[in-house]
Structure 1
């Protein structure tokens, strides 16, 4: 693994890549290096060099810089298009940081990472509640009911009295158009089907606007089949008939809930990959949290962050047309699937492999593929 201190961009003159990496908290320092090692090996097999720009972040950055997301980290990220972010445990930060935007939230907001793309697919060797599931949830990531994302100044949650709490939900045409476009573009590379999820029978103006704008965007993609569901019906149908869905596009809160449900239906949030992206930048970030209760024990499941890193490389390949980067991403996914199919998995999936043991088996498969 090549670590460099600074970067001038994502692609270097020799075709190599420069990727920012932030290990994060809890199990992050165990699983993120596993993803880096796997991506390095797959890239090397494709003839690509990756320089990893390691940046201070999270609890360790508080100790060294007095803040979980130092200015120097944000400045370095500005010079890169691709980043890998480990989980953060902001609830455990000192009290002075409790009211601050989470460090991941700072990154999302500063760089306008408006799309959270979360696939859920049953993998060989993993006991899935829904073995037929293979969906991509395109979650709008910049507004909705989440208080850290819907106001330019102040919080979207407030209490006029100690006994009354209010929350502001924001849905805009502009934000809906761009997440819808992401969903329809993704569907063209999958099964050509988009499902719009809303609650327009009750939230007529807000999620009604979301549904209607998505339908307007659909007109530009006549080759993609479109339908829509209320969010409660969608949750039921994901459990009952998940195989009928391909790409699901929805607003922030609904997308967060449905993607966690889909991840569990596929077998575990421990295998739930995710990227946060804009039209020009992308950040790999597993859907699960920091799991501080098992940190340092060497038993954390690295599948989700490894899969997220493969998604990151595939996002870059799609953006640049680089077949070699796409081949590296495919090699990562194949190696993980092969390892799981052989029964090698961590404790949360019913196996006995350590984090390091699982990673070594994936690396061995990449070396011989």
Structure 2
């Protein structure tokens, strides 16, 4: 990890599948422009194989070569994967994103949803963050040390386990309250404790315990089904939502669409000592290779990674670069440069170049 005397951050580039080879380079271009404009530490980019291309060249969607290098890096950009299209023997394995989250214990999936001025957002006032526990809950592919939490004891019976542990709940709750303390000081716990009393009820109880350590932060809670309704009706009233894995996945897709498009929905997956930037959307194979994809989510995920690095290493330059990216995106969209999903005509490369130019002239 970088120290004060290090001159660069080493960040990995994992292009992934579908539109990944288009949106990840767009994020790299904008991040380089931002660190230069901020006078921050430059980035030493390290390309690594992943996805369908890696299956062809290395026989694995997530080669051992990639896994060996990642621990040496300060973070990385992960493009979307299209694991559903992999050969059958590779589809049977944990997908690359899930494997990385599980292997590196990236327990916090932070997914903001904020509408851009001038875009067709369903709820223009939305500005919230979903804090999703990333390692257990009802996600069978990552809730056990070995094997899976989903199994069939007979051909006619299928069972899935939901795993909830105090250490995992405590650490994700603290992430939510720390984040809220720097925002509007409001945390909402999303659960289903009226039915899943021993599991999501446990999650709710521990979040309340941690909330007592943050008296300046307002705490409330809602059942997952009611929360979907409240978000559609009044998403602007919420600040930070914290919840288990599957609920968080569902809610963050909803909030991304309410903000205008999953194409603008960023995220990072973080532990206490490393982070992975990953757009919340999929690989969009229907438009892959056509230079049409909206790179906002991937670019903003890169900004989140820079902000995470700045906070972790007390690096004002990295935090300034992150702010320049966020402002550059807002300014570019407001000026009318948008991809087709947001009602514009800009290509992926045109949009990235426009954001980089905006940052450079700020």
Name the TM-score, length of structure 2 as normaliser: 0.98
Q: How far apart are residue 13 of structure 1 and its match? A: 3.6
Equivalent residues in 2 for 1:80-99, closer than 5 Å: 80-99=73-92
Structure 1 position 203 matched with structure 2 position 203: no
Which residue is 1:146 aligned to?
139
In structure 1, stretches of 5+ residues that fail to align are 1-8
| Alignment equivalent of 2:18, drawn from 26, 31, 43 | 26
Which residue is 1:285 aligned to?
278
Structure 1 position 362 matched with structure 2 position 355: yes
Structure 1 position 275 matched with structure 2 position 279: no
| Alignment equivalent of 1:301, drawn from 280, 294, 314 | 294
Structure 1 position 78 matched with structure 2 position 75: no
Most deviating of 288-297 and 150-159 = 150-159
In structure 2, stretches of 5+ residues that fail to align are none
Equivalent residues in 2 for 1:4-43, closer than 5 Å: 9-10=1-2, 13-43=5-35
Q: Contact 2:117–2:124 at 8 Å: present in 1 too?
A: no
Alpha-carbon distance in structure 2 between the residues aligned to 1:338 and 1:263? 20
Most deviating of 199-208 and 162-171 = 162-171
Which residue is 1:4 aligned to?
none
What's the Cα RMSD here? Answer: 1.1
SS at the partner of 1:132? coil
Which residue is 1:314 aligned to?
307
Alpha-carbon distance in structure 2 between the residues aligned to 1:64 and 1:164? 39
Alpha-carbon distance in structure 2 between the residues aligned to 1:279 and 1:49? 23
| Alignment equivalent of 1:230, drawn from 223, 232, 256 | 223
User: What are the superposed Cα offsets for residues 243-262 of structure 1, whole Å, 9 maximum, x if unpaired?
Assistant: 11100000011111111100
Which residue is 2:127 aligned to?
134
Alpha-carbon distance in structure 2 between the residues aligned to 1:85 and 1:228? 32
Q: How far apart are residue 15 of structure 1 and its match? A: 3.0
Alpha-carbon distance in structure 1 between the residues aligned to 2:301 and 2:2? 18
User: What are the superposed Cα offsets for residues 209-257 of structure 1, whole Å, 9 maximum, x if unpaired?
Assistant: 0000000011111111111111111111111111111000000111111
Which residue is 1:169 aligned to?
162
SS at the partner of 2:225? helix
User: What are the superposed Cα offsets for residues 315-369 of structure 1, whole Å, 9 maximum, x if unpaired?
Assistant: 1111122111111000011111111111211111111111011111111101110
Which residue is 1:5 aligned to?
none
Alpha-carbon distance in structure 2 between the residues aligned to 1:134 and 1:297? 31
Q: Contact 1:311–1:329 at 8 Å: present in 2 too?
A: yes
SS at the partner of 2:242? strand
Q: Structure 1 residues 261, 251: CA separation in 2 closer, same or farther (over 3 Å shift)? A: same
Q: Contact 1:194–1:249 at 8 Å: present in 2 too?
A: yes
User: What are the superposed Cα offsets for residues 103-144 of structure 1, whole Å, 9 maximum, x if unpaired?
Assistant: 111111111000100000111121111111110110000001
Alpha-carbon distance in structure 2 between the residues aligned to 1:264 and 1:361? 24
SS at the partner of 2:286? helix
Q: How far apart are residue 100 of structure 1 and its match? A: 0.5
Most deviating of 116-125 and 13-22 = 13-22
Q: How far apart are residue 181 of structure 1 and its match? A: 0.3
SS at the partner of 1:324? helix
| Alignment equivalent of 1:49, drawn from 42, 52, 56 | 42
Number of matched pairs: 361
| Alignment equivalent of 1:102, drawn from 90, 95, 102 | 95
Alpha-carbon distance in structure 2 between the residues aligned to 1:128 and 1:50? 33
